[in-house]
């Protein structure tokens, strides 16, 4: 992608899954990367190793710097420290990718309040606080910047048994649009990607069960699940100057899942 070399990016939840793939792809494009993780340092170190290897293979290793930065995005003081650490290391912060996320399963009338609050705190409140601190920095340095939220198809598709997760992603859509409108004239673009069924650790309940996986993929017009690398490619595009006129949008990367997928057989009959 054009004009990503030398940019400074913070990716939350980058120790695994989509966040990990994004960190690797941005390093491949020449970005300096700050890899945020909450607990599993060894996973973050593995992400860093793969990212630098990717940069090396792309011929950009010498220009790519990396930083491992621990922090729980549900904790305001952690977020402030994380953003300040990135700015101190790299001098500025150009790209924020809000990728940290959790989900819990249960019938809606039995969801414990603390469990509900934790999902909202990580997925929605954490994304807002990371964006808030990034925007403060961008305004203070009079810099343009990019914020990309990792949402979900459940931003628009209800998901029974996962109430708090669906609510958090619906809220992320509004967060994306509101921040995009408010800061468009300050050179700050805000967009989101909405992955569909993607093979990541958070989805192991169906990706590791061939029967369940077949059922899930039968509802996808393209007939397969997505990959973390496909999500990362979209983030690289949205972060680049090739997307300079795009803001306030959620890009659904779902193989057509949101397009009334159950009508596929009837339509093609």
The catalytic site residues sit at 165
Please answer whether residues 14 and 44 qualify as being in contact, where contact means their C-beta atoms are separated by less than 8 angstroms.
Answer: yes
What is the Cα–Cα distance from 69 to 67, expressed in whole angstroms? 6
* Exposed / middle / buried, residue 106 (Cβ in 10 Å: 0-12, 13-18, 19+): middle
Paired strand residues for 33: 9, 66
Of 189, 165, 160, which is closest to residue 251 (Cα–Cα)?
189
At 236 the three-state DSSP class reads helix
**Structure letter (DSSP) for residue 125:** I
Residues 6+ apart with CB under 8 A from 229: 21, 25
What is the Cα–Cα distance from 93 to 163, expressed in whole angstroms? 34
Of 176, 175, 170, which is closest to residue 189 (Cα–Cα)?
176
**Half-sphere exposure at residue 261, Cβ-oriented, CA atoms within 13 angstroms:** 19
- Would you give the distance in Å from CA 99 to the centre of its chain? 3
């Amino acid at each position: 992608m054009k004009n990503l070399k030398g940019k400074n990016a913070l990716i939350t939840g980058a120790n695994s899954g989509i966040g990990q793939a994004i960190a690797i792809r941005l390093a491949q494009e020449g970005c300096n990367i700050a890899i945020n993780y909450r607990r599993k340092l060894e996973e973050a170190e593995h992400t860093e190793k793969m990212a630098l290897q990717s940069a090396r293979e792309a011929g950009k290793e010498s220009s790519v710097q990396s930083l491992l930065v621990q922090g729980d995005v549900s904790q305001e003081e952690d977020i402030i420290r994380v953003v300040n650490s990135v700015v101190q290391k790299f001098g500025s912060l150009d790209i924020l990718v809000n990728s940290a996320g959790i989900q819990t399963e249960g019938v809606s009338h039995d969801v414990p309040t603390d469990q509900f609050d934790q999902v909202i705190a990580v997925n929605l409140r954490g994304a807002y606080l990371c964006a808030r601190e990034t925007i403060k920095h961008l305004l203070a340095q009079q810099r343009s910047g990019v914020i990309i939220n990792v949402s979900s198809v459940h931003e628009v598709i209800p998901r029974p048994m996962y109430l708090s997760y669906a609510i958090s992603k619906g809220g992320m859509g509004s967060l994306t649009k509101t921040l995009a409108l408010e800061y468009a004239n300050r050179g700050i673009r805000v967009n989101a990607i909405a992955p569909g069924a993607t093979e990541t650790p958070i989805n192991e309940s169906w990706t590791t069960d061939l029967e369940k996986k077949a059922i899930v993929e039968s509802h996808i017009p393209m007939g397969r699940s997505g990959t973390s690398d496909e999500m990362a490619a979209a983030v690289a595009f949205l972060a680049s100057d090739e997307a300079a006129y795009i803001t306030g949008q959620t890009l659904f990367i779902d193989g057509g899942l949101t397009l009334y997928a159950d009508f596929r057989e009837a339509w093609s009959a």
